[in-house]
A = this chain, B = another copy of it.
Amino acid sequence: MELRHLRYFRAVAEELHFGRAARRLHIAQPPLSQQIRQLEDELGVALLTRSTRRVELTPAGADYLAHTVAILDAVDAAGHHAQQVAEGRTGRLSIGCVGSATYSVLPAFVRALRDRIPDVEVRIRGEMLAPAQLAALRSGDIDIGLLRMSGEEPDLRVEPIRTDHLILALPDGHPAAATGSVDLHNLRDEDFIAHAGGGRSVMNTVLMTLCSVAGFTPRIRHEVEETSTLATLVAAGLGVALVPEPTAAIGITGVTYRPLSTPTSGIELHAARRIDDAASPMIDRALEVLREIASAPYEPARK
């Protein structure tokens, strides 16, 4: 069976006249009769009752007509939808994001996506550590990763999205929070809260480097998977933490954020994608949107 049979049957069923249907289809009447006969033979069902004076649908024919129309429409719709996907106007997009951007850059990104690409279907996986994102990118679990990284990844395309200042997260009432900015050296005897993964986390590397410059090695008492947990532990007074500025978007009371007295070069947020996904215009368009909105400096939520 071919779509031709369905198109022809639809025409005859709607016209209830082989001659008119043939004219509508721009073919002669005999081949139309033949094709309809073929269709009926293949289905083993009489779809039409014909006499020379009247053509009518059988109950089975009426049923088949409804399905036929639905199928022909679905064929058209499938083509149009595929074109939309090819143009990146619709599709599914899975985004992974590190904790420090989950509550600031990520929501802004998703909001902008919905504005600019209304038919995108976004799936979000926030609070993903960088190594998990790399694995998820390779397995196809996510299409775009928002992470902080240093090394090279040959099968991924990584680009810097924005640079974030580093700030300190202190428990409310901490002596160092009394001043406008904090000298890292004053925290040499504090407990530090760090991310899991040790040296594989860029934030940990930066922390070690900065403390080393300040003349001490930070004592790391707690390691956390999620940045939100980190904020909770700081609020509980279990230690202090060095975090990228957007982390402050986590609305947990009991935490005071203070800049460092010594300016640093900050830490970069990167967007990563599979290098062989070049044929995915949705990812291209999404990254364009990300570049536009992510360069804006982090702005704390107004109350």
Q: How far is the CA of A85 from the CA of B45 in the complex (A)?
A: 9
| Chain A 18-57 interface 0/1 with B at a Cβ cutoff of 8 Å (1 = within) | 0000000000000000000000001111110100000000
User: Within 8 Å CB of A81, what residues of B?
Assistant: 63-64, 67
Whether A4 is near chain B, meaning CB under 8 Å from some CB there, is yes
Number of copies: 2
- Contact of A59 with B3 in the complex, beta carbons under 8 Å: no
Q: Tell me, rounded to whole Å, the shortest Cβ–Cβ distance linking A59 to chain B.
A: 5
- Tell whether, in the assembled complex, residue A279 and residue B1 are in contact, meaning their CB atoms are under 8 Å apart: no
Interface assignment of A2: CB less than 8 Å from any CB of chain B: yes
With known contacts A1-B75, A2-B3, A279-B49, A82–B61 Cβ distance under 8 A: yes
Q: Are B43 and A67 in contact (CB under 8 A)?
A: no
How far, in Å, is A79 (CB) from chain B's closest CB? 5
CB-based contact B77/A74 at 8 Å: no
Q: Does the CB pair A91–B63 fall under 8 Å? A: yes
**A interface: dominant SS:** helix
Shortest Cβ distance from residue A69 to the other chain B in the assembled complex, whole angstroms: 10
In the complex, what's the smallest C-beta–C-beta distance from A62 to chain B, in angstroms?
8
Q: Tell me the nearest residue of chain B to A78, going by C-beta.
A: B67
> Which residue of B6, B46, B67, B86 contacts A86 across the interface (Cβ within 8 Å)?
B46
Q: Which residues of B contact A43 (CB under 8 A)?
A: 79, 82-83
In the complex, whether A60 has a CB less than 8 A from a CB of chain B is yes
- Residues of B within 8 Å of A63, CB to CB, are 81-82, 85, 91
Known contacts: A4-B2, A74-B74, A75-B71. The answer to whether A60 contacts B86 by CB under 8 A is yes
CB pair B1 A83 closer than 8 Å: no
Cβ-defined partner of A70 (8 Å) among B45, B49, B74, B282: B74
A212 on the B face (CB < 8 A): no
Q: Within the assembled complex, what's the spacing in Å between the Cα atoms of A82 and B66?
A: 10
CA distance A6 to B74 in the complex (A): 12
Query: CA–CA, A58 to B280, complex, Å?
Result: 7
Q: Is A68 an interface residue (CB 8 A)?
A: yes
Q: Provide a sorted-by-A list of 13 A–B residue pairs whose CB atoms are within 8 angstroms.
A: A1-B79, A43-B79, A43-B82, A45-B83, A46-B86, A58-B279, A59-B86, A59-B91, A60-B83, A60-B85, A60-B86, A61-B82, A70-B74
